Structure 1
Amino acid sequence: MFTGIIEQIGSVQKYLALDDSQTGGNGASLTIENAGPILKDCHLGDSIAINGTCLTVTEFNNDSFKVGISDETLRRTTLGSSKVGDKVNLERAISGNVRFGGHLVQGHVDTIAEIINRHPDGNSISFTFRLRDSEFINYIVPKGFIAVDGTSLTVTGVNYQEATFSIMMVAYTQSKVVLPLKKIGDYVNIEVDLTGKLISRQVELQLGSQISNENSQLYQLISRIIDKKLSRSTRND
């Protein structure tokens, strides 16, 4: 788990679409440099989020570390388009004694989004994004949490028809994360708030359970409504 509070901005040192080395696992791999401050307590197998994507450290030294990337992660995230020199957000998985400053972030990216607008608002920057997979807009609510490239942010507006949402980034945060470096047309990783997904799933399960149970209050209510409609239809005939 992560908090969405970025600890370090690193740089892509190397991206390999096929890494057949012992630490590459015959898949894609990514090596990140300028990561020294978060590697002082690093161990092989530790989890580090790169632009909001939880990945496992397979190799590291004092300044850089390497991770493998699965095909599923490549499909879900922007990491497959990584280029040498790209700046990335870094955050270590939380430990038990860390203050929780952001929100609960799993590091499991749901989809990507395109930056379709950005403009200054005082000393802040307003960003608007369009989701690639529009179904995830149902989990985004105004004033709710969202993780953009792993950064915990507050949603300022949502357009459910257009599958777009907006955030406002204050001046302090601008110097700590990579988003201000991106322009209109660039893509970012999106993880919607876990709470919304859990509530939605529980509602689906409860409704499904009650509809299939003839003794449930919901089933009986629907049956009465149908009987009433049928009775009216018969009288009108």
Structure 2
Amino acid sequence: MRLNDLGIVRTDIARPDPAAVAAVSAFGVATIHEAMGRVGLLRPYIRPAYPGAKLCGPAVTVLLQPGDNWMLHVAAEQVQPGDVLIAGCTTESEDGFFGELLATSLRSRGCAGLVIDGGVRDVADLQEMDFPVFSRAINAKGTVKATLGSVNIPVVVANALVNPGDVVVADVDGVVVVPRDLVGAVAEAAQKREDNEESKRQRFRDGVLGLDLYGMREPLAAAGLEYIDQNDGED
């Protein structure tokens, strides 16, 4: 981040084809991550604020200052139906940036949820609202509104670069970011992976071992794996 990145709100960001977003929303985070070549994951400390939370949608990005949620209120104006708010911070902060009141505001805009590298609170209310939130921490400590950040600039959230309009997918397995221009291709790759896994799933049900399904025996032997019969040498 540079100093001239602060105090900026970019409006009318480009978003991917809604049909492509709907297609990728059918898949879990692990499948999407694998389909993209094992890239795009946020650090695993970002967790759902309550069980069952999941989300998918184009990113409205937010850069926050530590202990200051001013820019979340600014970002709410930029949210369109189906968008996901995703927020990073200029330095580590676990304060409770977000709670039920902001969720109510975002819900009125059609927001699909929040991912934040910071703390949230009012978790019982968020669960009752079924407003999906993924966060670094749950923390009752409140924040101030005093220092500018930015909205809809590239941000780093939990070690992942997120550009406005990228698609954010989150579930119990984690959070993954799909670049805006790759959403359709990733959905197709994820479907192929799912089809392939279903074939393997059926073979596993039939009792086939992974050792044979994946052709592991020969390379294991070449690597020096030995099987020893415990009965060898006994009378």
More strand by share: 1
More helix by share: 2
Q: TM-score under structure 1 normalisation?
A: 0.24
Q: TM-score under structure 2 normalisation?
A: 0.24
